[in-house]
Structure 1
Amino acid sequence: MKKIPVRHLKDSFFENRFSIRAIEPLVANVDLIHELHRHDFYFILFIKNGNGEHEIDFVKHVVKDFSVFFIRPGQVHQLKLQKGSSGFMIQFTSDFYGPKEVPAMQVLRKVSNKNLCQLSEMRIEQIYLLLNSILQEFTQKQERYTEVIKSYLNVLFISIARQSYHPNKIPNEAKLYAQERLEELQDLLEKNIHTKKQVNDYAEMLSMTPYQLNAITKASLKKTVSELINEYIILEAKRILIGTVSQVNQVADTLGYDDPSYFIRFFKKQTGLTPEAFRQNFK
């Protein structure tokens, strides 16, 4: 079984920290096929017109007109895009946009929280104007062009985030607060699931009580924090099982389990399969 490759921005046809390109030249005469792999950068696929299939973290999505796909660093995905499709690809590293400025980090977290966003025709036209402006800045590379691109990205992500809200139903402050804490929690789970698996750990990092945090996850997702933690453990276990040739005991150790047999029982309880059976079924 081959190990899933990890793609780095410098290894592709994109430049070091950020790049954008139209997809039309890639699918002019043939389908675009990306085999299963994972990134160490953000990848965004904007589809104006097109068809295909995009599998992200073992969930299959249908590619159709006005779709936007967000892939976060560490996620695994594979893509088949039919020839004749139109749109854009954007890729950037986490140090290019986000972590140094809290507002930018918050908006990036909000839009990348869902892997698929289906836009309206009116919204896609607005976004296309922004994408073409970004492409122009990237191509011409005039003075301080990276600052302009970051500003355009901010507007772009806010515009996409607005799609989630009904124009006549602006979320109140309490709902916005809960949504932001949930997005922070999911970000923390993605980054710390190997070493932290207790509700108290995440409540403490968010300066909340476990009761407060559970209230948010139950209201937003109909799940407890423990259930959410278990989902992230299983997701990361699947990524490792499919992405490496590590033995199951090594996978357990990577995820912080001293007892491989306990990990196997936990995995089977959550999925109905042993880790090795899951790996064999995925071949």
Structure 2
Amino acid sequence: MEQKGPIELALKLLDNLKIVRHNEHRYISSDFGFVNSFVKMETTLFSLGQPYRIKEGRIAFVKQGSVRVLINLIEYTIQPGYIAVIAPNSIIQITEVSPDFDMQMIAADHNFLPISGKDDFFSYLLHHQKSIILLLSPQEQQQVEHYFTLIWGVLQEPPFRKEAIQHLLASLLYYLEYIAQNSIEQNPAQLTRQEEIFQRFISLVNTHSKKERNVNFYADKLCLTPRYLNTVIRQASQQTVMDWINQSIILEAKVLLKHSNLLVYQVSDELNFPNPSFFSKFFKRMTGMTPHEYQQTK
């Protein structure tokens, strides 16, 4: 049987599912997408509590209601006035959505954006963070609304004006980078030393946990002793270094088990477990069910 990689929440997937490409609520192509309202979005795309890997970068602007979501292990509650910029290949897990929730969202492949010499424009602007969540001032919120309205308006005019959309999107990203940088400059003590270490640690875990499960590895990367790293992480999050590593592995395992045709032993190999039995016991201990049971859940 041919092995398939995990299904990504990607524009190509949406296109293959024959979701309407261009109507009053959304525009979707192979490298750019715009959802003007999620109220009538296809419900079959998302399941609460199910982790998904997104292929392209995302900009999400909440219009009403609220959503509780894990983005690369960290939980956020996003409400009106907030905007989220999420790097490609992030794992997201929606855990709660209010009945009145609605947002606008832009997705773009990095090749779509008009910049040369950068592998990933989103990550470049995020200074290699996986995501930023910004609370906008009323004036900033109005400006962002203007960007979304202008981009959506240009999308309504056939033919597709690719260059105009590309540069409007780049302008929006630079504007959001300015807001983020301005916030840091106005609040230079925004992050404590503990918080800075924690953010860097989580970024390392998201990158390396499939292969590296030793506390020493992360301590070395951060130029800290393992004991000090454990102390800082526990103080910052009330969880240990291994707690976070294990949570990251479980997220990866869930994505592979649910969104690929890999068998359990193949998932075990992919995640560098010594054998399938060890992986199954680890998964059962962390989730309360076996990998096979999890695959069967809806």
TM-score, with normalisation over the residues of structure 2? 0.65
Instruction: Give the aligned length.
Output: 267
1:256 Cα deviation (Å)? 0.2
Q: Which string of whole-angstrom CA distances, capped at 9 and with x for unpartnered residues, describes residues 73-109 of structure 1?
A: 2525579999998642211335658866887233753
Q: Which string of whole-angstrom CA distances, capped at 9 and with x for unpartnered residues, describes residues 97-141 of structure 1?
A: 8866887233753516xxxx7767666334323444666788896
User: Percent identical across equivalent pairs?
Assistant: 22
Contact 1:190-1:232 at 8 Å conserved across structures? yes
Q: Which string of whole-angstrom CA distances, capped at 9 and with x for unpartnered residues, describes residues 227-251 of structure 1?
A: 1111111111122122223322222
Contact 1:34-1:78 at 8 Å conserved across structures? no
Q: Which residue of 1 aligns with 2:204?
A: 188
Cα gap change, 1:223 to 1:104, in 2 (>3 Å): same
Match for 1:205: what amino acid? K
| Contiguous gaps of at least 5 residues in structure 2 | 16-20, 22-27, 47-51
Q: Which residue of 2 aligns with 1:22?
A: 36
SS of the residue corresponding to residue 214 of structure 1 reads helix
Looking at structure 2, the residues matched to 277 and 133 of structure 1 have their Cα atoms a distance apart, in angstroms, of 47
Deviates most, 206-215 or 71-80: 71-80
Match for 1:265: what amino acid? K
SS of the residue corresponding to residue 111 of structure 1 reads strand
Q: Which string of whole-angstrom CA distances, capped at 9 and with x for unpartnered residues, describes residues 242-265 of structure 1?
A: 222332222211110122222222
Q: Which residue of 2 aligns with 1:216?
A: 232
2:175 pairs with one of 131, 144, 155: 155
Q: Which residue of 1 aligns with 2:58?
A: 43
Looking at structure 2, the residues matched to 111 and 173 of structure 1 have their Cα atoms a distance apart, in angstroms, of 14
1:33 aligns with 2:43: yes
1:106 aligns with 2:108: no
Q: How does 1:78-89 map to 2 (within 5 A)?
A: 87-89=103-105
Q: Which residue of 1 aligns with 2:25?
A: none
Contact 2:7-2:260 at 8 Å conserved across structures? no
Q: Report the aligned-residue RMSD.
A: 4.6
Contact 1:46-1:69 at 8 Å conserved across structures? yes
1:256 pairs with one of 272, 277, 283: 272
1:273 pairs with one of 279, 289, 292: 289
Deviates most, 42-51 or 119-128: 119-128
SS of the residue corresponding to residue 105 of structure 2 reads strand
Looking at structure 2, the residues matched to 47 and 137 of structure 1 have their Cα atoms a distance apart, in angstroms, of 21
Q: Which residue of 2 aligns with 1:235?
A: 251
Q: Which residue of 2 aligns with 1:170?
A: 187
1:150 Cα deviation (Å)? 3.0
Cα gap change, 1:227 to 1:78, in 2 (>3 Å): closer
SS of the residue corresponding to residue 127 of structure 2 reads helix
Contact 1:134-1:152 at 8 Å conserved across structures? no
Looking at structure 2, the residues matched to 137 and 183 of structure 1 have their Cα atoms a distance apart, in angstroms, of 38
Cα gap change, 1:193 to 1:129, in 2 (>3 Å): same
1:203 aligns with 2:191: no
TM-score, with normalisation over the residues of structure 1? 0.68
Cα gap change, 1:89 to 1:178, in 2 (>3 Å): same
